[in-house]
Amino acid sequence: MFPHILDIVANMTGCVVSYNPPSCTNTCPDLKYRLITGACNNRKHPSWGASNTVLSRWLPSQYEDGISEPKGWNMDFLYNNFSLPPVREVTNKIIHTSNKAVQDDSSYSHIIIEWGQYIDHDLAFTPQSINKVKSMWGSDCHCTNEKQKSCFPIKVSSFALQFTGCIPFYRSLAACDTGDQSAMFGIPSVTSSREQINVLTAFIDASTVYGSTEAIENKLRNHSSEEGLLRVNIQHSDLGQEYMPFVDDTPSPCIQDPNATNDERIECFFAGETRSNEVVTLAAMHTLWFREHNRVAKVLKKLNPHWSSETTYQETRKIVGALHQVITIRDYIPKILGPSAFRKYIGTYQGYNENLNPSISNIFSTAAFRFGHATIPPTVHRLDSQYREHPQYPSLLLSEVFFRPWRIIKEGGLDPLIRGLLGKPAKLQTQQEIMNEELTEKLLVLSNNGSMDLASLNLQRGRDHGLPGYNDWREFCGLPRLNSTLDMKKAISEESITRKMIELYGHPDNIDVWLGGLVEDLLPGGRTGPLFACLIGMQIRALRDGDWFWYENTNVFTEKQKLELERHSLSRVICDNTGLTHVPSDSFLMATFPEGFESCDIVPSMNLEAWKENPEQGASCGLPKKIENGDFAYCSETLSIYFCYPGFRLEGHEKLACQGNQWNTQPPFCKDIDECLDHQTPPCHTSASCRNTLGSYQCLCTDPYGLAEDKRTYSGRLPRASIASIILVALLFLSWAVMCWILVCRG
């Protein structure tokens, strides 16, 4: 087939083309600022941790056919002589609990949950096969007797009240060179098993704020600003504080205020990560850090008026990413793992390890880090300035705050929500009350018109990704396998849970890893059991030690700057970017107002003076000349390095050295790159034509395709006539093959 036909096939079969990293350079700017895609962090392995790369496997996948079919795909497939239980049955009999039965966590506040979700969205996102199959075959992944490659509906018992028939489930998209997605088109199946893609950078780098692709980053930035700012919402503000902008594509799918008129729409917020509108508390966290970027950037520009907008933006992005690392590794993870497991699996920083792959593992993303779903309370509280229930904006059930950004803009802004996160507890994860009904019965997902069940989705996702079972992962972590009910009591003290699991699964080896890890006895001082502590700890250490730009690594920040970063905290970010005047010293610890709170006037803050440069660093040479469409960075007191902005190529000498009282050569200039001439890695899809623009390019659509969101590939949403033509060609080809087979056989 022709290349563009293969691309069509790949798109229609529901797969993702893996990312090819660019060639890596070792210039001063490249070593100073991480690429937005995460590529070239490791010069020997440039794709490690980059966006649009395959989730790593710590154990081989387990599919029923060895290639692609998930566990539970075939009803007659037995595991240790038992069939796997439907995941919804597992939810009903083990996981589900009523809203009234949940217990409060006396140690930790609600905001610790929100930070976990927020950081999870900084690390991984696996796209699903929504719309693609539907647009071609008309399938919506609801109940069907047909085996759709992209669908794996969750079966529901006939006596269930909330759901009937089944819950729709879209399988995660596969990498195009894995699994059997091409077999339906007559292309020989590849031998590698199905793998899933992480479209985000793996690193703790605040991609929630800045995105993981150049296209998203470019849309988030305010290019008219000299201060390196992010775009703000021009329609609404929060008592003088800024909101994130709305998405460009309107009307957006976010739910509207039922009492508003049609011309009073509140669209979805636009952030660096697409799930920012899932729940209003998550949108509030995104807004905090969006505001923190603009706050820091303005201060840095005042301290360094000679900085360009690009330098100010990159330095601010570097600081904000480092703060995400500080808060996560110092304040969050030790509370989750407990002190003993933290020392065992993470320990103190020993420096960068170029042999450690920081890519997100499938087991971490699909199971271990989803432990937090069992700690979510059913209610989102909104509190007044005295941390009492807000008289104007009452507390809401979770089902009332999914995808409703209007509740932030029209109901008090960020302050009541942030007070609720600080002043109310997280849910305590117990073996008898695992997940509340707001999540098991009323979860809202925009791709589906009805309610969903988060617990069942998690279990089904693990099977979809071919994750090995609970005991295999215990063995991987050096923990003893649990081969009997008696063994299980050593890890899970609640006897009723072990009995129910054996009744459902038949054998301990059959237990889904997410369920098994979730119900283990919590470690002392932690909020996970031994298995998840191991898996989370291993991943976080890889993210720290395998990241060249980790804030503690030599030459990433000065010693003075590192000390200032470590003075900062989430409480300080809240003080600086909301109207709150009193916060706990540690936002994650549960405190009672006013005794456990302190004034923002005394909450420690980093001093950005540590980033102030001397504009006369070049001794007697003076300030290097600025260049159009580029900038320079000091690499030493007497050496400056020039670089060009994306879309331009440096012409002339990159390095200027101060010799005596003058620079040794003339500054270079930046020449526009004609990306359309790159035939080896063309910027546009083969179905589109390329037109060069200053500093960029434009992909122009050619019939019958439409451009996707990245503005360089086709969307795959072909007109009906095009689909009919492709199907007709396929049928003709099939008919020809059948006729040839008959003739050959008869001959």
Which residues have a catalytic role annotated?
121
- Cβ 737 vs Cβ 729: under 8 Å: no
Taking the C-alpha atoms of residue 140 and residue 456, their distance in angstroms, rounded to an integer, is 18
Taking the C-alpha atoms of residue 368 and residue 528, their distance in angstroms, rounded to an integer, is 9
- Cβ 157 vs Cβ 89: under 8 Å: yes
Beta carbons within 8 Å of 332's beta carbon, 6+ residues apart: 112, 115, 116, 119, 588
Taking the C-alpha atoms of residue 27 and residue 315, their distance in angstroms, rounded to an integer, is 16
Taking the C-alpha atoms of residue 64 and residue 71, their distance in angstroms, rounded to an integer, is 6
SS3 372: helix
User: What's the gap between Cα 458 and its chain centre?
Assistant: 16
Taking the C-alpha atoms of residue 217 and residue 37, their distance in angstroms, rounded to an integer, is 10
- Cβ 465 vs Cβ 63: under 8 Å: no
> H or E stretch including 499?
helix 495-505
Beta bridge partners of 357: none
Beta bridge partners of 528: none
Taking the C-alpha atoms of residue 746 and residue 723, their distance in angstroms, rounded to an integer, is 34
Which of 408-445 are b and which e, b meaning 16 or more Cβ less than 10 Å from the residue's Cβ? Answer: bbbbbbbbbbbbbbbbbbbbbbbbebbbbbbbbbbbbb
Taking the C-alpha atoms of residue 390 and residue 46, their distance in angstroms, rounded to an integer, is 51
Beta carbons within 8 Å of 647's beta carbon, 6+ residues apart: 672, 673, 675, 694, 695, 696, 697
> H or E stretch including 698?
strand 696-701
CA distances (Å), origin 172, targets 126, 149, 169, 456: 6, 11, 9, 15
- Cβ 346 vs Cβ 330: under 8 Å: no
Angle of the 111-123 helix axis to the 280-303 helix axis, nearest 10: 70
Taking the C-alpha atoms of residue 105 and residue 151, their distance in angstroms, rounded to an integer, is 38
Taking the C-alpha atoms of residue 180 and residue 130, their distance in angstroms, rounded to an integer, is 18
> How many other C-beta atoms lie within 10 A of the C-beta of residue 400?
16
Taking the C-alpha atoms of residue 745 and residue 747, their distance in angstroms, rounded to an integer, is 5
Beta bridge partners of 639: 636, 657
> H or E stretch including 56?
none
Taking the C-alpha atoms of residue 609 and residue 588, their distance in angstroms, rounded to an integer, is 28
Taking the C-alpha atoms of residue 81 and residue 649, their distance in angstroms, rounded to an integer, is 63
- Cβ 172 vs Cβ 181: under 8 Å: no
> H or E stretch including 692?
strand 688-693
